[in-house]
Chains A and B, each alone.
Chain A
Amino acid sequence: MTLTPNQLDPLDNPRMRQVIDSTISEYGDQNGALMVVLNHLQERIGFITKPMQAYVAEKLNVPVSKVHGVVSFYSFFTTEPRGKHLVKFCIGTACYVGGASQLIDKAKQVLGIEPGQTTSDGLITLEVCRCVGACSQAPVVVIDEVNHGRVKPSQFARILTEVQKSEVVA
């Protein structure tokens, strides 16, 4: 359930609003609720905008600064929508030694974007992440939650093209 950038804030979308409200009422009254609520919002909405943060703060009766503090602290939370497909490069030590930087260079070359950016068609977001715990498979690229191990730069262009193609067919 990911939005494209030009859509309304999730709070102004009745369907999204309902998801947000039900998430808050489902998890809002337990100890340490803030993290749990934010985790589920990130998962269900795909990102947590500033108005959403203010809304959560009000509902949970905590300062907005605390909510924003948590959102900006953890790398799982994003304030903007990601692309339809998420390509994450593991740059943990083993993957670094295994040649992760060559893969990132290849991706830049093929897609024309840097890690942290999304392609203009909203299809692919590139990110770097810390160790995913699959170090014996280094270097690892995680594409939509699926680990691809021992990726070589020469194969990588093909993998990216396949991600792009799968979208055209579907």
Chain B
Amino acid sequence: MKTVRSMVLISNDPKSKANASQEVIAAFKLAIKNLELTDEVAVSTIPEIGTVRNLPLVVIFPEATVYAPVKPEDVPHLVEEHLFKGREVPNLKVKDPDTLRKIAWLTQRKGTLPAENRIVLRNVGIVDPESIDDFFAYEGGQAFATALQMTPELVVEIIKASGLRGRGGAGFPAGIKWDSVRKTPGKKKYVICNADESEPGTFKDRVIMEGDPFSIIEAMLIAAYAIGSDEGYIYIRGEYQLALDRVQIAIQQAREYGGLGKNIFGSGFDFDIHIHAGAGAYICGEETALLESIEGGRGEPRVKPPYPTTSGLWGMPTLINNVETFANIPPIVLNGAQWFKSFGTPSSPGTKVYTILGNVNNTGLIEVPMGITLREVINIYGKGIKGGQFKFAQTGGSSGSIIPASLQDTPMDFDSYRKVGVALGSGALLICNDSNCIVDSVRVLARFFQEECCGKCVPCRVGTDQVWKILTNISEGRGTMEDIAHLEWLSKGLEDFSNCGLGQTAGAPIKNMLDHFRAELEAHIKLSVCPTGVCPMS
């Protein structure tokens, strides 16, 4: 496993470019290559650094040492001293307090690494996803072998101690779920991998399944051993044809190897996995709707409790985890809970895979420690906002929140976000610049919920429809101030009275809009003007 121990960030805004930052970047890459540090040191750029003097500026993590101005000819010495010998170069260090204050958002993460250390995506792009032999060559299967040497109780204890929280969006502690299923009596238990990744803007699970399907099987084996299950399902959304094919091939190869089926690797332990392809319904990502769907019916969520941990598939205790949650299991079993806790924040350990989308210069998939801020994501990984200023971000696909610019320095983890009234969601980060209208964006979300609502419970069925109609009225210039009160009431009603997570989160974007963008909303009504010019207003 490639382990990044240091990360070099180099400012690359127009002013830095005028002072040879491009040459500095090239010099860093060359010097790192010459000292054979390429696998240990990551180099990246900061496209917007603000009004800082003495550019280009270089920050080296995890020490968060700031050097400026750095000239190309300084670089070989700097790399050799700091990155090879581990000594700072005092005469290049920034001492000016004003500069240090202006880049505090960057250096606050001293002691950690903003670089991508891959836990979840460790094998993606490295292991041949259609060859179990290749998987074995990269430590594949060792976590399961290790687990088999332990008692099931101990495996559950390790997961509990690791503090791993479910990556599907809600952040429920995985170990507690495992423990609950293990302790519930049942003549049969099921392990289900929720791969019905339907949140718009999220495609992390697809990448994991397409790139590393064997690890998911291994994680499900560990889970099955820990809770005492002999049958599992992977529920993959039907749109993901390549993922379906790859997982199918992986299961077939695992069976041929004796890694699935009866008496696995001679251990006396039985487990097999079925694939269930979804048929195009967003709601089936909700765990009880998913169960209904596997049982062959309409994917309508059940009333909870009872929770699936006590009464799940065909009434049996069932463990349901997200693909990304499962992908964390083998490294935790192999390296231990303490190792896992060295990443991320105390209450949300580990890494998180995000998809960065929208108005940024660099879109794509990243795996970063829990607790980094939105500002870091936008500026370091997204390479800055494309066109205009940052206005808001939408997390979690649809079932997330609208994050205004004022919250961009809040650490991104489950608890810090909850404290300020927003949610992390399942990992999509749609970044929007100031050409986006908040009313229009929330209206599009409302339309999504209105269409994907299963119709089972009244608050959601009627509420999502009303919200969409009111927002459409406002965006077409027919809004009244009463509508705002209605929206407030509806968003609370959706949250309080809906049966499942879809309805409960459908009100969140409205609440975020009322909390942070009330002036813009009121402009649509009072002045009949859409400040960004997006809404038709006719």
Contacts and interface: CB of A to CB of B under 8 A. Distances in A.
A35 B238 contact: no
A131 B198 contact: yes
A33 interface: yes
B239 interface: yes
Contacts of A97: 357-359, 430, 432, 436
Contacts of A129: 239, 280
A94 B295 contact: no
Contact of A31 (B202, B279, B295): B295
Interface in B434-449: 436, 444-445, 448
Interface in B46-86: none
A94 B358 contact: yes
A127 to B, nearest CB: 11
A70 B200 contact: no
A34 B297 contact: yes
Given A76-B280, A93-B445, A94-B357, A134 B295 contact: no
A32 B295 contact: yes
B201 interface: yes
B294 interface: yes
B162 interface: no
A36 interface: yes
Given A92-B200, A93-B397, A75 B296 contact: no
A9 B163 CA distance: 56
Contacts of A93: 200-201, 357, 394, 397-398, 428, 430, 444-445, 448
Interface in B331-389: 355, 357-359, 363-365
A108 interface: no
B281 A73 contact: yes
B130 interface: no
A21 B278 CA distance: 23
Interface string A91-130: 0111011000000000000000000000000000000011
Given A35-B279, A130-B452, A145-B241, A96 B298 contact: no
B240 interface: yes
B212 interface: no
A141 to B, nearest CB: 14
A32 B394 CA distance: 36
A136 interface: yes
A69 interface: yes
A131 B298 contact: no
Interface in B384-430: 394, 397-398, 428, 430
Interface residues of B, number: 46
B203 A70 contact: no
B296 A74 contact: no
Contacts of A131: 198-203, 397
B206 interface: yes
Contacts of A92: 200-201
A159 to B, nearest CB: 20
Give the bracket for the number of chain A residues in contact with chain B.
20 to 34
B357 A130 contact: no
A131 B205 CA distance: 13
Contacts of A73: 281, 298-299, 454
B179 to A, nearest CB: 27
A45 to B, nearest CB: 15
A70 B297 contact: yes
B144 interface: no
Contacts of B239: 129, 132-133
Contacts of B206: 133
A24 interface: no
Given A73-B298, A130-B452, A136 B363 contact: yes
Contacts of A96: 444
B526 to A, nearest CB: 27
Contact of B428 (A39, A130, A135): A135
A35 B197 contact: no
Contacts of B21: none
Most buried by B among A31, A69, A70, A133: A133
A96 B239 CA distance: 18
B282 interface: yes
A138 interface: yes
Interface string A63-86: 000100110011111000000000
A76 B238 contact: yes
A94 B201 contact: yes
Contacts of A70: 296-298
B510 to A, nearest CB: 16
Contacts of A31: 295-296, 314
Interface in A136-153: 136, 138, 145
Contacts of A132: 239
A104 to B, nearest CB: 14
B358 A133 contact: no
Interface in B261-301: 276-282, 293-299
Contact of A66 (B297, B355, B364, B394): B297
A58 to B, nearest CB: 16
A132 B355 CA distance: 14
Contacts of A135: 200-203, 355, 357, 363, 428
Contacts of A36: 276, 296
**Nearest 4 Cβ contacts at the A-B interface:** A92-B200, A74-B279, A75-B280, A133-B203
13 contacts: A70-B296, A70-B297, A74-B280, A93-B428, A93-B448, A94-B200, A131-B201, A131-B203, A133-B202, A135-B200, A135-B203, A135-B357, A136-B365
Given A133-B197, A136-B355, 13 more contacts: A74-B279, A76-B238, A93-B201, A93-B428, A94-B357, A94-B358, A94-B430, A130-B280, A131-B201, A133-B203, A133-B206, A135-B200, A135-B355
